[in-house]
Amino acid sequence: MYKAPVEEIAFTLKHVAGMADALEEGQLGDLSDDLVDAILEEAGRFASDEVAPLAEIGDKQGARLVDGKVEVPDGWADLYRHWAEGGWNSLVASPAFGGQGLPHMLNVAALEMWNSGSMAFALGPTLTMGAVEALTAHGSAELKEKYLHKMVSGEWTGTMNLTEPHAGSDLGVMKTRAERRDDGTYRIFGQKIFITWGEHEITRNIVHLVLARLPDAPAGTRGISLFLVPKFLVNDDGSLGARNDLHCHSLEHKLGIHGSPTCTMIYGDGRYGDEAGAIGYLIGEENKGLACMFTMMNNARLAVGMQGVAICEAATQKAVAFAKERTQGKAPGWSGSGQTGGMSPIIEHPDVARMLVTMKALTQGARAICYTCAHATDMAHHARADRAAHWQERAALLTPIAKSFATDAGVDVASLGIQVHGGMGFIEETGAARYLRDARIAPIYEGTNGIQAIDLVTRKLPLSNGDHVRGFITELREIVSSVRGLNRDGFGTTADRLEASLADLDEATEWLLARIAEGNTAAALAGATPYQRLFGLALTGAYLAKGALADAETGGFERVVLCRFAAENLIAETAALKDRVINGEASLTAARALLG
Q: Are 126 and 442 in contact (CB under 8 A)?
A: no
Distance, in Å, from the CA atom of 269 to the CA atom of 176, rounded to the nearest integer, reads 12
Q: Are 243 and 270 in contact (CB under 8 A)?
A: no
β-bridge pairing 262-267 and 186-196: antiparallel
Q: What is the residue type of 218?
A: P
160: left (phi > 0), else alpha (psi -120 to 50), else beta?
A: beta
Distance, in Å, from the CA atom of 31 to the CA atom of 479, rounded to the nearest integer, reads 27
Is 507 in the active site?
no
Dihedral sign (CA 307, 309, 312, 316): negative
> Could you tell me where the DSSP H helices lie in 53-139?
55-61, 76-85, 104-117, 119-138
How many alpha carbons fall within 13 Å on the CB side of residue 318?
Answer: 31
Print burial letters for 42-72: b (CB count within 10 Å at least 16), e (below 16). ebbebbbebbbebbbebbebbbebeeeebbb
Distance, in Å, from the CA atom of 66 to the CA atom of 287, rounded to the nearest integer, reads 37
Exactly one of 112, 133, 348, 446 is catalytic; name it: 446
Q: What is the residue type of 187?
A: R
Q: Give the three-class secondary structure for 161.
A: strand
Distance, in Å, from the CA atom of 416 to the CA atom of 421, rounded to the nearest integer, reads 9
The residues, any chain, with a CB within 8 Å of residue 192's CB and separated by 6 or more, are 161, 162, 163, 164, 176, 198, 210, 264, 265, 267
Distance, in Å, from the CA atom of 369 to the CA atom of 410, rounded to the nearest integer, reads 14
Among 141, 114, 140, 118, residue whose Cα is nearest residue 129: 114
Residue 65 CA from chain centroid, whole number: 27
Q: What is the largest CA-CA distance in the chain?
A: 84
Distance, in Å, from the CA atom of 382 to the CA atom of 402, rounded to the nearest integer, reads 21
Residue 486 CA from chain centroid, whole number: 34
The residues, any chain, with a CB within 8 Å of residue 12's CB and separated by 6 or more, are 364, 367, 368, 371, 547
Straight-line distance from the first to the last Cα atom of the chain, in angstroms, rounded to the nearest whole number: 49
Distance, in Å, from the CA atom of 338 to the CA atom of 302, rounded to the nearest integer, reads 49
Among 587, 461, 582, residue whose Cα is nearest residue 511: 582
592: left (phi > 0), else alpha (psi -120 to 50), else beta?
A: alpha
Reported as type and span, the H/E element at residue 267 is: strand 262-267
How many alpha carbons fall within 13 Å on the CB side of residue 263?
Answer: 28
Q: Give the three-class secondary structure for 353.
A: helix
Catalytic annotation, residues: 446
